[in-house]
């Protein structure tokens, strides 16, 4: 088993009564698997991902439980130890692609950034690795994009640049937090195809977060459904999609078409 999450809880203590954004979340993942997490807004999906990546270590937040990744409990690591895992063994694509790319840095330099931190490579080696990751992420003409600025890319290409950055250290687990939500349907489908391809070719396991069960179904083998920090249902994605046990899951399925209206129009150009 690659990842064994047991009773992960994330409790905020800064607003009077303690509030469990994540409440005893458990999930096991094998190498090379693609697992989805779905749930309405505020159900705790991002907090789960951030807790795994060690991104919510603050005094007013209590993170408990365990998350054993290839034999090591990520939650018990020191900040320093965890830094060695971040990006290298497990990597995350964030929910807000626009704010995650630095507008003052060329795309290539950003894709290379984690290589600079984690590995000792020559400039040429770094560039070769960056171009390789960019091609894997489905960026056309990586050489050209390497020299471009983020504002010169479409939304879909920016998201692909984020994927390239997440892949450049060849992680074994990729956490993708709503990576396609801001994109129009066609671009979204293309990026899902790319993620599938990366999974097939590189064997990278993917924990894919979305509020859209249809999107999860297109990509994942298994899914867990979250509500108010808790898992309410889980199983093979087709059985959850076609035979949901919970009313909440049925609601997530039937409310799909209204999503685009809620989120506004297309942003990709
Ligand atoms: N600093 C904080 N203090 C208290 N509660 C917080 C804090 N930050 C986030 N929360 C709460 O944690 C819960 C889970 O948030 P999270 O971002 O994980 O939801 P999500 O499922 O990712 O939603 P979305 O689909 O909108 O991205 C929410 O109810 C949110 O209000
Ligand atoms: Mg979120």
Q: Is 259 in the pocket of ligand 1 (CB under 6 A)?
A: no
- CA-44 nearest atom, ligand 1: 18
Position 266 in a domain: no
Pocket test residue of 47, 57, 232, 263 for ligand 1, highest count of atoms within 8 A of CB: 47
Kindly state whether residues 113 and 157 are assigned to the same domain.
yes
Pocket test residue of 15, 22, 46, 53 for ligand 1, highest count of atoms within 8 A of CB: 46
> Rg of the Cα trace of the chain?
18
Domain end, chosen from 155, 170, 185, is at 170
Position 94 in a domain: no
In total, how many domains does the chain have? 2
Kindly state whether residues 202 and 146 are assigned to the same domain.
no
Whole-angstrom distance, CA of residue 51 vs CA of residue 9: 9
Kindly state whether residues 127 and 219 are assigned to the same domain.
no
Kindly state whether residues 107 and 43 are assigned to the same domain.
no
CA nearest neighbour of 165 among 79, 220, 94? 94
Range of the domain at 9: 3-89+172-261
What pTM, to 2 d.p., does this model score? 0.90
Kindly state whether residues 71 and 194 are assigned to the same domain.
yes
Q: Is 18 in the pocket of ligand 1 (CB under 6 A)?
A: no
Pocket test residue of 18, 22, 25, 45 for ligand 1, highest count of atoms within 8 A of CB: 45
Kindly state whether residues 10 and 50 are assigned to the same domain.
yes
Q: Is 59 in the pocket of ligand 1 (CB under 6 A)?
A: no
Lowest-pLDDT choice from 14-28, 36-50, 53-67, 248-262: 248-262
CATH of the domain at 182: 3.40.50.300
Position 166 in a domain: yes
Kindly state whether residues 180 and 255 are assigned to the same domain.
yes
Distance 113 CA to ligand 1 centre (A): 29
Position 267 in a domain: no
What's the confidence (pLDDT) of residue 261?
Answer: 42
Kindly state whether residues 20 and 33 are assigned to the same domain.
yes
Kindly state whether residues 57 and 185 are assigned to the same domain.
yes
Q: Looking at residues 69-76, what average pLDDT do you find? A: 94
Q: What is the pLDDT of residues 212-269, one digit of tens each?
A: 888 899 999 999 999 999 999 999 999 999 999 999 999 888 766 444 444 444 433 3
Position 115 in a domain: yes
Kindly state whether residues 66 and 112 are assigned to the same domain.
no
Whole-angstrom distance, CA of residue 67 vs CA of residue 76: 9
What's the confidence (pLDDT) of residue 83?
Answer: 85
Q: Which residues contact 146 (CB under 8 A, 6 or more apart)?
A: 106, 107, 108, 111, 127, 130, 131, 134
Lowest-pLDDT choice from 11-25, 34-48, 88-102, 159-173: 88-102
Q: What is the pLDDT of residues 167-224, one digit of tens each?
A: 999 999 999 998 887 788 888 888 899 999 999 999 999 999 998 888 899 999 999 9
Quickly state the pLDDT bin for 24 (edges 50, 70, 90): very high
Kindly state whether residues 39 and 144 are assigned to the same domain.
no
Nearest CA to ligand 1 atom 26: 41
Q: Is 104 in the pocket of ligand 1 (CB under 6 A)?
A: no
Q: Is 50 in the pocket of ligand 1 (CB under 6 A)?
A: no
Domain end, chosen from 107, 137, 170, is at 170
DSSP per-residue letters across the chain: --EEEEEEEEEE-SSSS-EEEEEEEEEEE-TT-EEEEEE-TTSSHHHHHHHHTT----TTEEEEEEEEETTEEGGGS-HHHHHHHBTTTEEEE-S-HHHHS-TTS-HHHHHHHHHHHH----HHHHHHHHHHHHHHTT-SSHHHHHTS-GGGS-HHHHHHHHHHHHHTT--SEEEEESTTTTS-HHHHHHHHHHHHHHHHHH--EEEEEES-HHHHHHH-SEEEEEETTEEEEEEEHHHHHHS--SHHHHHHHHTGGGHHHHH-S----
Kindly state whether residues 166 and 176 are assigned to the same domain.
no
Domain end, chosen from 138, 170, 202, is at 170
Position 112 in a domain: yes
Position 31 in a domain: yes
- CA-228 nearest atom, ligand 1: 29
Position 61 in a domain: yes
pLDDT beyond 90 at 14: no
Residues with CB under 5 A from ligand 2 (ion): 45-46
């Amino acid at each position: 088993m690659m990842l064994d999450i047991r009773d992960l809880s994330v409790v905020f203590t800064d607003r009077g009564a303690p509030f469990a954004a994540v409440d005893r979340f458990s999930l096991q993942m094998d190498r090379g698997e693609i697992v989805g997490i779905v749930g309405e807004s505020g159900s705790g999906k991002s907090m789960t991902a951030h807790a795994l990546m060690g991104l919510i270590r603050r005094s007013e937040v209590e993170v408990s439980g365990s998350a054993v990744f290839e034999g090591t409990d990520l939650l018990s690591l020191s900040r320093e130890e965890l830094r060695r895992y971040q990006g290298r063994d497990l990597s995350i694509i964030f929910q807000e692609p626009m704010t995650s790319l630095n507008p003052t840095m060329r795309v290539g330099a950003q894709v290379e950034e984690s290589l600079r931190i984690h590995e000792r490579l020559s400039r040429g080696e770094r560039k070769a690795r960056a171009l390789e990751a960019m091609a894997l992420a489905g960026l056309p003409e990586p050489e050209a994009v390497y020299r471009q600025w983020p504002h010169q890319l479409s939304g879909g290409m920016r998201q692909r640049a984020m994927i390239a950055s997440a892949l450049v250290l060849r992680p074994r687990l990729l956490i993708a937090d709503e990576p396609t939500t801001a994109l129009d349907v066609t671009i979204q489908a293309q990026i899902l195809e790319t993620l599938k391809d990366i999974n097939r070719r590189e064997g990278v396991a993917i924990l894919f977060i979305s509020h859209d069960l249809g999107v999860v179904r297109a990509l994942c083998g298994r899914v867990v459904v979250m509500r108010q920090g808790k898992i309410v249902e889980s199983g093979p994605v087709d059985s959850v999609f076609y035979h949901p046990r919970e009313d909440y899951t049925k609601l997530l399925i039937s409310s799909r078409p209204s999503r685009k209206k809620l989120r506004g129009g297309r942003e990709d150009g």
